[in-house]
Amino acid sequence: MTDDIFATGDIFANRELVRVGHVPELDRVVGRDNEINEVGRALGPATQGGPPETTIIYGKTGTGKSLVARCVTREAHRRATENDRSLQYAYVDCSDYQTEAKASREMARELVKRLTTDRTIPRVGIGAADYRDITWELLDLHDVDAFVVILDEIDKLADDELLRSLSRARESGKADAFVGVICISNKIEYRERLNERVDSSLQDNELVFDPYDADQLSNILNNRRDAFKQGVLDDAVVTKTAALAAREHGDARKAVDTFYEAGQLAERAGADRVTVNFVDDAVRQAEINRFERLVSGQPPHVKLILRALAALTEQRDASRFRTADIYDVYVNFAESEGADPLSYDRVSRLLKEQSFLGITDTTHTGGGPSKGSYLEHRLMRDTDIILDAMRSD
C-alpha cells in the first residue's frame, strides 16, 4: 500500500475546469461571440424586468449550445440583480426527464434551489400541471420579474405540453412573472413537429451553432490550461487534441474530455508531464469504453460473430467480408466454445443489427451475373479496440 491512498499526483491544479458539465465563467467561453450576443439580446429585456424572448438553438453535439445558454442566462441573472430586478432560471435536461411530469418537476426543483427556499417538491403523487402550479406560486411569492427555462435536448420530450404552458404562462394568468424559454435541440427539424398552436406562440428567434474548427478547439483548450499545474503540459498536447476533435465533427465536449482523460492517465502512470502519448491512450480508451457500452449485455453469439469478423480482418488483407465468410468462422468459434451455432439467416440478421448500432458497417454489393448480389460487413474500429471492449465486458 502507498503512503497516501488519496494522493492525486502533480498533474492537476483545478480539474473541475476540464470536467464535462462544468459551466465556466462567460469570459472562458471562446469561439461563440456572435451566439453569445444573440442569446444576450434575447434575454436583455429580462435584465430590466421585461419579457425574455423565447429562443430555439440548434446544432450538433459538442457545439457549445448548452454552455452558451447556461453561461449567458447566469450572467443575465447577475445583471438583473445589479438592476434591482429578479431574474430566475431553471435548467432541465430533457434526456433525463423525458415526460411532461418529470420535466415540470425538475423545473420546480431547480427554481427552489435558485430561491434557496425550503419548499419541498414531492417526487410522486401529483401531476405535471401541479408541479407547474408550484412554480407559478413560487415566482409570485418571491416577486420574480422574469423566469427563463432552459430545455436542453427538448426533442426528447414526449410531447409539447410543457412548452405550450410556459409560452402562455403570463398570458393565461398563471404567473405574474414574464416567462421565456431557451429550447436546445440537436435536430434542425425539431420545430416542424411542434403542434401548430405551440409553434404560433413562439417568436421567430432561432440560432444554429456550427461545429468548431481546429483553431477554435485549440483556443477552448488553451483557455482551460490552468486546470493543469504549471509546466506539465507538452505544447503538442493541445494541438493534437484539438485536431482529433475537429476530425470528429468539431466536438468541443469530446476535446475537453480527451484533455482531462490524458491528464488522468498521466497521473495514474506517475508521470510528471502530459505528453501526446497520453492523448493517444485517452482516445483509444474512450473508444474501448464506447464499444464496451455497445456490446455490454449483447448475447454470447453476437460476441462470437464479432470475434469472427475481427479474426477475418486480422488474417486477411481486406476489411470487408461477405456474410458467408463470417458465418463459416463463427461456426468454428461456436463449436470450439461448445455452443450450438445459430442459423445462417439468424447470423445475417444479427450482423445487420450491429450495423444499426454503429459497431459494423454493412453494404449491399452487386457481384455481377455470375455471383449475384450479397452483403459485406466491416468493423467500424480497429480490431484490437473491438476485442479489448469485449474482454472488458
Please enumerate, by residue number, every residue annotated as part of a binding site.
63-67, 212, 224
Short-list 245, 232, 326, CA closest to 20: 245
- Cell numbers representing residue 43 in the block: 434575454
Closest to 75 measured CA to CA, from 32, 38, 25 = 25
- What nine digits make up the cell of 377? 460487413
Q: Is 268 exposed, middle or buried (0-12, 13-18, 19+ CB in 10 A)?
A: exposed
3-state secondary structure of 147: strand
**Exposure on the CB side of residue 44, measured as CA atoms within 13 A:** 7
Point out the annotated binding site for ATP.
Answer: 63-67, 212, 224
User: How many C-beta atoms lie closer than 10 Å to residue 26's C-beta?
Assistant: 16
Residues 6+ apart with CB under 8 A from 74: 23, 26, 89
Q: Are 321 and 343 in contact (CB under 8 A)?
A: no
Calculate the alpha carbon distances from 32 to 89, 131, 207, 209 in Å: 22, 35, 12, 8
Angle formed by the axes of helices 235-247 and 276-295, to 10°?
Answer: 30
Can you tell me the distance from the alpha carbon of 231 to that of 4, in angstroms, rounded to the nearest whole number? 24
Q: How far apart are CA 337 and CA 339, in angstroms?
A: 5
